[in-house]
Structure 1
Amino acid sequence: MDAPRVVMVELDHSDPPGRLRDWLVAAGLEVVVCDVAGGESLPAPGGYAGLVVLGGKMGAGDDAEYPFLADVRQLLRDVVRDEVPTLAICLGAQLLAAAHGGRVVVNPEGPEIGAQLVAKRAAAATDPLFGAMPITPDVMQWHYDTVASLPPGAIHLASSPVCENQAFRVGRLAWAVQFHIETTPEMVAEWARADAPNLPELDLDLVVSRAAAAHDDIAEVWAPFAQAFAAVVGDPSAVAPPRGVATATAAPVTDPAAIRAALAAEAGAARGTDALPSPLPMPTRRPPGD
């Protein structure tokens, strides 16, 4: 029996499939990379069992400079309609939101950069991918824009004090995460080098060193998540329609102050310390892109 095929759409060579590809292959999937950034056409309908849309430096509405973005948004409408298991990451998440009536803006709180934690929302408890995860999973952040309004009917799965819509689900089989799970330390170091002129407020050497230290913690959480996604690709019929509170009324797991306390307690317990390292300040400038 052939392995289920997943297409990973690479929108920008600065954000390749990274270790997410390795996790999906280890979980039994055949992974094909569609290099849209290099001029390849998007996959034809029906030729794959799952879809992953990666991130990039452009914005979700930068069609004038990147005309293929309109085609990616249409692809994301098609896969939700056809119930193809889909995972959208960072810019991919913003494109999924925009394709289904959400709103993407420059984050008024400023960008999120580096190793961070997010908090699960109440609706995540019954989600087939997020349900088994810790309440405050480690993630890698590198974005300037944010999904300000979720698509109608989307299920809100995770948030942070700086970015409310960190993860969400559209329809039965499409998941989106604003953060990155696919990164390697080398990818983050290259992002820091390329973005240095836009982030003068940050000690990027510290960002890179903390990112490198966090990558094992990120893998501990997100490799099993990739396995769970692979299981959905292998048998999408086993996934029930989402059960959650309407996005307008979904209550967060905690308020922002309690989130910070929970982050410190959980991270401290995991690392054998009493608290997190001092947080990195969040810069306020934003160049073109996500």
Structure 2
Amino acid sequence: MTRVLVVQNGPRGGPKRFGDWLTEPGADGGTGVDVGAGGPLALDVVHAYDGAPLPARLTHGALVVLGGGLMPDDHARAPWLRRTRELVDQALEAAVPVFGICLGGQLLAQAAGGTVRAEHGVPEVGSTALTLRAEAADDPLFGGLPPRLTGVENHVDAITALPPGARWLVESENCPYQAFRSGERAWGVQFHPEASAADVAGWPPERMTRHGLDPGEVRRTAERDDPASARIWRTVAHRFAAVVREAG
């Protein structure tokens, strides 16, 4: 069994359906890889935000870093992010598969040499239109996906420059760097593939109102987009699981 280390950065920020998809048996995401050959994946979720210790060395077969309302170098409020960055550095050096979501994607970008800015650009909240870029055509996770996608967003901070040599995979109208790959096995996304329409419905409406959004419309859009979006991000999760098995 291959074990995946999952770093959780907030009490509501668990792996949710993305974690379920990673550990589903019998699906390869269209890769043709025999998912039974490497055995099932198992998640070790560390509640780092609550003081749970992170390992000094990465011995897992993959690393997933989840989102949270922080900057990736906000060590004063979130001292565990320094150790998380060390684990990402180790993964990049050893070509261990990485998947970073929102804050996790920003941390990956920063670790690999990119830049992130606080409260940059137009905030994105709720289901958002995304565009697959031509560079994604041969990507192990994003290749062959529909050219127009949707992803659940919940951010005000943003990546402002990708790491040197990174492959830019997905963009949106208001936030260019929605998905990228650094090296061969490290992916970062700005959106939340783990978040469903039900999650969006539970978000505080006052935050949406503060950004000039109609909470009811945000909820309805998420409900409309969720079935197709879930199918796509499930495929991406299965493909990442296949990459993990191959790497192991």
Q: Same fold (TM over 0.5)?
A: yes
Gaps of 5+ in 2: 26-39
Partner residue in 1 for 2:18: 20
2:118–2:158 Cα contact (<8 Å) kept = yes
Name the structure 2 match of 1:11: 9
**For residue 176 of structure 1, what is the aligned residue in structure 2?**
188
Residue 138 of structure 1 is matched in structure 2 by 150
Q: Is the 8 A contact 2:49 2:78 kept in 1?
A: no
Deviations 1:4-52 (A, max 9, x none): 1112111111211110111011143111211111111123435311111
Q: In the alignment, residue 189 of structure 2 is paired with which amino acid?
A: V
1:147 paired with 2:159, answer: yes
Shift of 1:118: 1.1
Of 78, 90, 104, the residue aligned with 1:66 is 78
Determine which structure has more spread, i.e. the larger CA radius of gyration: 1
Tell me the equivalent position of 2:66: 54
Where does 1:163-242 land on structure 2 (aligned, <5 Å)? 163-193=175-205, 195-196=207-208, 198-199=210-211, 201-236=212-247
CA distance in 2 between counterparts of 1:113 and 1:38 reads 25
Q: Partners in 1 of 2:197 and 2:171 — Cα distance?
A: 24
CA contact (8 A) 2:121 2:158 kept: no
Is contact 2:19–2:43 with CA below 8 Å preserved after alignment?
yes
Secondary structure of residue in 1 paired with 2:45: strand
- What displacement does 1:78 show? 0.9
Distance 2:134 2:120 in 1: 25
User: 2:117 & 2:5 partners in 1: Cα distance?
Assistant: 28
1:238-264 deviations in Å (ceiling 9; x for gaps): xxxxxxxxxxxxxxxxxxxxxxxxxxx
Seq. identity, % = 38
> How many residues were matched structurally?
234
Q: Deviations over 1:68-113 (max 9, x none)?
A: 1122112111101111111000010011111122111135431011
Task: Give the whole-Å Cα distance in 2 for the aligned partners of 1:55 and 1:194.
Answer: 20
CA distance in 1 between partners of 2:75 and 2:202 (Å)? 25
**Partner of residue 42 from structure 1, selected from 54, 65, 68:** 54
Which structure shows the higher strand fraction? 2
TM-score by structure 1 length?
Answer: 0.76
Residue 115 of structure 1 deviates from its aligned partner by 0.7
Bigger drift between 175-184 and 209-218 goes to 209-218
Provide structure 1 residue ranges, at least 5 long, that are not aligned to the other structure: 238-290
Residue range with higher mean Cα deviation, 188-197 or 131-140: 188-197
SS at match of 1:126: coil
Residue 168 of structure 1 deviates from its aligned partner by 0.6
Counterpart code for 1:19: R
Q: Which residue of 2 aligns with 1:86?
A: 98
Partner of 2:31: none
